[in-house]
């Protein structure tokens, strides 16, 4: 199925879980925050939260700033 | 809750200030409490001219060449407190009287007709004789006729102050008299006023309720005036930090002869009073400084432009005394007996504008 | 010691972590600044270069992270960023900044106040970045802000304390700590902010873009310390004569 991740369309496995997506992207789950269709997915729900066809996913993390 | 350093420490702080500290305070762009202590100290007495000049400079800058004029309306001299220095003290055998709403209104209208636009309603502390319902009803009668109506009555609760504010009362004066707890207990023998801690939180309560102006003060002659004035500075600074939308005034009434013949062991001279007024002005550039008819005309005229910003005029301290000048039962005897018109013309003669109407409560929407 | 919302900070220099040439330089510079509080920003992960993450390079045991809401143009965006920052593990502390004008990056007072009111209710410890507006500072204090962060001059301009007279009023009036933020281009600017009684300063650009950021960070640390000590020592006035030479006021009336 297709989702939109950080503005880019991406082909992923059907019913992929947030945790799997993060692993696929080679990110450290402890360092990112995920917003799915406008709602924050808390870290405890990474394993259980599944994505749907057309889900809009945003991944954020801290960078340098003033 | 406002709490003060021990009074002994305040005395110590004032006593230990040197001439160098005074000069530092005079030059400081943002004088702090230690500068205030210096300006109140014995060391500052030798710099009274410079202190007056600095105070005058700030007063001109912040207030211009104006003096606000107001008069008190005494409503009742019933009182449940026994305070040694006060003519209304519960034990005193004086002619007790409380004005009906009609009488109070007619007293106020006498002042209105003399040109007053700012009045201060005063009563003893006897909630059964005169409570918040009365003040509210009177405020509603007066609000359209005066630019501002303030009260100096018994301490009230925050919601009561809020009620009175909604009814048109815009200012509250409540003086601690002295910040020295020991003396406070010695002179307030009985009644609610005996509770020092309770009273000290009243100004904050009035400000919390939304009053535009809150007045604090000490009665000079009860304790060490230098430390008391410093304590007042602490209180003022504390209030300012918490209630930035409220304007504050400070008053330094000197003990006047009154029924009961309390004699003070702490004499406060005019020179001392002048030093206090100058010090407070330098410490807080925007505070309103009140000089009432307790002081003689010579002193009041001399102080114009040097620090004080508000004068009472033509005052009578007996309930009903404007309509009937023969009435007795006054709180204290005054020192300046001039009529309001004379006070104003003397102010004008010194190149100042006596302002009888400062702002207008018509503008107030909430 | 500096205390904000009950938390103590030994250093009164807060360091920004942006604009450095590399993480390695940033780490050394932060180390040299002695700062305990460091600001960080929240951004979308760059999926083409997922490696560079500030949380993996800065030791969170050693530094207290203050996430900012940079990029927010109104209150709603700031609130969203704040919630995301909390979810990523940034804690409840927040440097609230709302900057709708991309040219000057000056903060929007109306949206900042709105966002502060919401975020305080949600349990955030809010440190709003504001123009040096004393009434706004008090309104934010009333709204529950833990500190206020007025600017010395527009961010990144290195112009120093152009707002000094307003800052003095804020410092005099505020009950919450005042952290001067933005525009501090030299250690002398930071020192001056501390001399007039600021509780702390936040520096980023001036350190990050210096030829030697590590040395500049150390210089700022000294400036802050010197300014603070001078403030505590009680500075003399630079008023010209305290009216001592003005004409006699005439106190002869006193008895």
Closest residue of chain A to C22, computed from CA coordinates:
A64
- Is B56 a domain residue? no
- Is B338 a domain residue? yes
- Is B179 a domain residue? yes
The CA distance from C118 to the nearest CA of chain B, in Å, is 22
- Is B148 a domain residue? yes
Q: C245 CB near a chain B CB, below 8 Å? A: no
User: Do B and A count as touching (3 or more CB pairs closer than 8 A)?
Assistant: no
The whole-number pLDDT of residue C101 equals: 87
C-alpha count within 13 angstroms, C-beta hemisphere, residue B55: 30
Full domain range(s) for residue B74: 65-275+290-363
CATH architecture of C2-44+51-233: Alpha-Beta Barrel (3.20)
Q: B298 CB near a chain C CB, below 8 Å? A: yes
Whole-complex ipTM: 0.85
Q: Which residues of B touch C246 (CB under 8 A)?
A: 53, 57
Residues B7, B179: contact at Cβ < 8 Å? yes
Pairing of strands C7-9, A39-41: unpaired
CA B366 to chain centre: 26
**How confident is the model over B8-16, as a mean pLDDT?**
96
The whole-number pLDDT of residue A38 equals: 87
Q: For chain B, what percent of residues have pLDDT higher than 70?
A: 97
Q: How many domains does chain B have?
A: 1
Residues B134, B105: contact at Cβ < 8 Å? no
Output phi, psi for C43, to 5 deg: -140, 160
The whole-number pLDDT of residue C240 equals: 47
- Is B335 a domain residue? yes
Q: What SS3 string covers chain C?
A: CEEECCEEECCCEEEECCCCCCHHHHHHHHHHHCCCEEEEEEEECCCCCCCCCHHHHCCCCCCEEEEECCCCCCHHHHHHHHHHHHHHHHCCEEEECCCCCCCCCCCCHHHHHHHHHHHHHCCCEEEEEECCCHHHHHHHHHCCCCCEEEECCCCCCCCCCCCHHHHHHHHHHCCCCEEEECCCCCHHHHHHHHHCCCCEEEECHHHHCCCCHHHHHHHHHHHHHHHHHHHHHCCCCCCCCCCCCCCCCCCCCCC
Q: Determine whether the interchain pair A43/C52 forms a contact, defined as Cβ–Cβ distance below 8 Å.
A: no
CATH number of the domain that residue B322 is part of? 3.20.20.70
Give the C-alpha distances (Å, rounded to integers) separating C164 from B50, C198, C202, C204.
Answer: 28, 11, 16, 19
User: Which of B23, B49, B299 is closest, CB to CB, to C249?
Assistant: B49
Where exactly are the structural domains of chain C?
Answer: 2-44+51-233
Q: C175 CB near a chain B CB, below 8 Å? A: yes
Tens-place pLDDT, residues B59-72: 998 888 889 999 99
Q: What's the full length of chain B, in residues?
A: 366
Closest residue of chain C to B302, computed from CA coordinates:
C253
Pairing of strands A39-41, B188-190: unpaired
Question: Cα(B310)–Cα(B359) distance, rounded to whole angstroms?
Answer: 14
Decide if C95 is catalytic.
Answer: yes
Local structure of C49: helix, strand or coil: coil
Question: Cα(C139)–Cα(B244) distance, rounded to whole angstroms?
Answer: 10
Residue B300 has pLDDT above 50, yes or no: yes
The whole-number pLDDT of residue C44 equals: 86
Residue B318 has pLDDT above 50, yes or no: yes
Q: All domains of chain A, ordered by start, with CATH?
A: 2-60 (3.10.20.30)
Residues C182, C129: contact at Cβ < 8 Å? yes
Residue C50 has pLDDT above 80, yes or no: no
Residue C32 CB coordination number (10 Å): 20
pLDDT band at residue B360, thresholds of 50, 70 and 90? low
Question: Cα(A35)–Cα(A25) distance, rounded to whole angstroms?
Answer: 15
The CA distance from A58 to the nearest CA of chain C, in Å, is 7
**How confident is the model over B11-38, as a mean pLDDT?**
94
Output phi, psi for A38, to 5 deg: 90, -10
Chains with at least 3 CB pairs less than 8 angstroms from chain B: C
**How confident is the model over A29-52, as a mean pLDDT?**
89
Q: B244 CB near a chain C CB, below 8 Å? A: yes
């Amino acid at each position: 199925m297709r989702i939109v991740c950080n503005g880019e369309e991406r082909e992923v496995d059907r019913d992929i879980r947030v945790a799997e997506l993060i692993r696929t992207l080679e990110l450290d789950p402890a360092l990112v925050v995920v917003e799915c269709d406008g709602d924050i997915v808390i870290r405890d729900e990474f394993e259980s939260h599944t994505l749907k066809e057309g889900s809009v996913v945003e991944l954020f993390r801290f960078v340098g700033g003033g | 809750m406002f709490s003060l350093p021990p009074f002994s420490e305040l005395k110590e702080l004032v006593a230990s200030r040197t001439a160098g500290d005074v000069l530092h305070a005079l030059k400081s762009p943002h004088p702090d409490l230690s500068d205030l202590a210096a300006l109140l100290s014995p060391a500052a007495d030798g710099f009274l001219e410079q202190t007056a000049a600095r105070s005058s400079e700030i007063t001109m800058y912040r207030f211009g060449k104006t003096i606000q004029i107001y008069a008190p309306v005494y409503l009742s001299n019933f009182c449940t407190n026994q305070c040694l220095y006060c003519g209304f003290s519960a034990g005193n055998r004086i002619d007790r009287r409380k004005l009906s709403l009609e009488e109070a209104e007619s007293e106020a209208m006498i002042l209105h007709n003399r040109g007053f636009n700012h009045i201060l309603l005063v009563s003893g502390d006897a909630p059964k004789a005169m409570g918040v319902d009365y003040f509210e009803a009177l405020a509603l009668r007066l609000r359209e006729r005066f630019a501002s109506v303030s009260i100096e009555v018994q301490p009230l609760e925050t919601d009561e102050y809020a009620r009175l504010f909604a009814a048109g009362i815009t200012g509250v004066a409540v003086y601690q008299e002295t910040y020295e707890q020991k003396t406070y207990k010695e002179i307030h023998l009985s009644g609610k006023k005996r509770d020092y801690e309770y009273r000290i939180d009243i100004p904050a309560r009035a400000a919390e309720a939304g009053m535009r102006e809150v007045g604090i003060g000490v009665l000079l002659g009860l304790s060490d005036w230098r430390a008391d004035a410093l304590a007042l500075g602490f209180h003022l600074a504390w209030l300012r930090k918490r209630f930035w939308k409220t304007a504050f005034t400070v008053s330094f009434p000197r003990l006047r002869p009154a029924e009961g013949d309390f004699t003070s062991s702490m004499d406060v001279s005019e020179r001392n009073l002048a030093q206090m007024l100058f010090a407070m002005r330098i410490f807080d550039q925007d505070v309103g400084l009140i000089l009432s008819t307790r002081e003689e005309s010579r002193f009041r005229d001399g102080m114009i432009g040097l620090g004080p910003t508000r004068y009472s005029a033509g005052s009578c301290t007996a309930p009903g005394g404007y309509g009937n000048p023969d009435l007795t039962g006054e709180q204290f005897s005054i020192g300046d007996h001039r009529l309001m018109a004379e006070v104003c013309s003397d102010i004008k003669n010194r190149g100042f504008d006596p302002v009888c109407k400062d702002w207008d409560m018509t503008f107030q929407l909430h | 010691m500096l205390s904000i919302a009950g938390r103590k900070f030994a250093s009164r220099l807060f360091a920004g972590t942006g604009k450095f040439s590399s993480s390695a330089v940033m780490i050394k510079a932060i180390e040299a600044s002695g700062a305990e509080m460091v600001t960080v920003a929240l951004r979308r992960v760059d999926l083409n270069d997922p490696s560079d993450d500030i949380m993996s390079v800065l030791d969170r045991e050693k530094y207290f992270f203050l996430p900012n809401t940079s990029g927010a143009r109104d209150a709603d965006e700031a609130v969203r960023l704040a919630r995301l920052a909390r979810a990523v593990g940034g804690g409840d502390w927040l440097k609230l900044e709302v900057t709708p004008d991309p040219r000057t990056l000056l903060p929007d007072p109306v949206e900042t106040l709105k966002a502060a009111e919401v975020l305080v209710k949600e349990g955030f410890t809010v440190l709003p970045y504001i123009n040096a507006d004393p009434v706004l500072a008090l309104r934010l204090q009333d709204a529950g802000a833990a500190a206020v962060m007025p600017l010395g001059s527009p961010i990144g301009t290195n112009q120093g304390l152009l707002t000094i007279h307003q800052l003095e009023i804020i410092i005099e009036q505020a009950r919450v700590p005042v952290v001067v933020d933005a525009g501090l281009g030299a250690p002398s600017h930071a020192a001056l902010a501390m001399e007039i009684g600021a509780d702390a300063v936040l520096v980023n650009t001036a350190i990050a873009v210096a030829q030697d950021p590590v040395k500049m960070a150390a210089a700022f640390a000294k400036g802050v310390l010197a300014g603070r000590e001078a403030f505590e020592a009680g500075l003399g006035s630079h008023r010209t004569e305290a009216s001592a030479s003005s004409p006699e006021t005439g106190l002869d009336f006193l008895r």
